[in-house]
Structure 1
């Protein structure tokens, strides 16, 4: 499978992607735990059907020390006992923020309040930005049909 458009050689796409990557780097300095960021990226990518991002973020998380058990259970996090309450709140906010059109009003007050119990204002801002950013990456990759399976940790960062 070949992507419809090569984001790594097209001048317009490369310029846009550079800004997205810069935003992602800024998140690394936000105070939001790196493990939480990877879980958020993985879950949104699963929901959006972005194979490239599922491949990338599962490998990046494993490379950073995340366990196979937790990675395998992200898709069914509600039934899993391996996530902290803070991570569960972040995953709920991720799901609601990713499926924003599925519910009138978008993210519920309950989901926001639960996340606010576990994260300070700066971390909440980073969480919102991480959710928005991964959704942008997912949509681009799904539209161009970026193939999955060949990602190597550290290759694109």
Structure 2
């Protein structure tokens, strides 16, 4: 893309933050609580952002995909791992322990289809403590809430980076 290309940005449907400010603050508080729980449980910040990224990919929230890709990079995750989140089941860059968290993220994001099978939770519990597993679930509930708002209201937009390409 060069600087003369036009970026297509879907129109905002609802100014969510202004229209329901108390609820918006409540979702922010929910997210703050989830972050506090994963931090207290010792879940690595890079994995936290990769889980948020994966969930946002599944839910189709472009703002959150952009935000959490950048946050994962800021947390020290490699470009390779960030890029491979979309294909985590096939990628060789994730540990068995991380894979159980991704499986839960996928299952929770698709809960209407999956009903979060016992096997997914059992595998998670084999490698994470009960407190860690609960903290991961709290994080997933939070990002799914943000995604529902972002996808429906299209109230936030990622900043477009300028890319200069020599012609």
Q: Normalising by structure 2, what TM-score?
A: 0.81
CA distance in 1, matches of 2:13, 2:23: 12
Aligned with residue 155 of structure 2, among 146, 151, 157: 146
Q: What number of residue pairs does the alignment pair up? A: 150
Q: 1:151 to 1:109 in 2, by over 3 A?
A: farther
Q: 1:111 to 1:17 in 2, by over 3 A?
A: closer
Q: 1:58 aligns with which of 43, 66, 69?
A: 69
Question: Cα offset for 1:151?
Answer: 8.3
**Mean Cα deviation higher: 73-82 or 28-37:** 28-37
- Give the conservation status (yes or no) of the 8 Å contact 2:100–2:120: yes
Cα separation, 1, equivalents of 2:28 and 2:158: 22
Of 103, 124, 128, the match for 2:137: 128
TM-score under structure 1 normalisation? Answer: 0.85
Q: CA deviation at 1:30?
A: 3.0
Alignment of 1:15-34 (within 5 A): 15-27=25-37, 28-34=39-45
Aligned-pair distance for 1:40?
A: 1.1
Going from structure 1 to structure 2, the CA distance change for 1:130 and 1:64 (only over 3 Å counts) comes to same
**Structure 1: segments with no counterpart, 5+ residues:** 153-157
CA deviation vs aligned residue, 1:62-112 (integer Å, no higher than 9, x gap): 011110000101010111000011111100011011100113xx1112111
Q: 1:117, 1:97 → 2: CA distance?
A: 18
Which residue does 2:6 correspond to in 1?
none
Instruction: Flag the 1:126–1:151 CA change in 2: closer, same or farther, 3 A.
Output: farther
Cα distance, 1:13 vs. partner?
Answer: 4.2
Q: In 1, distance between residues paired with 2:143 and 2:160?
A: 16
3-state SS in 1 of match to 2:42: coil
Computed over aligned residues only, the root mean square deviation of the Cα atoms, in angstroms, reads 2.0
1:117 aligns with 2:126: yes
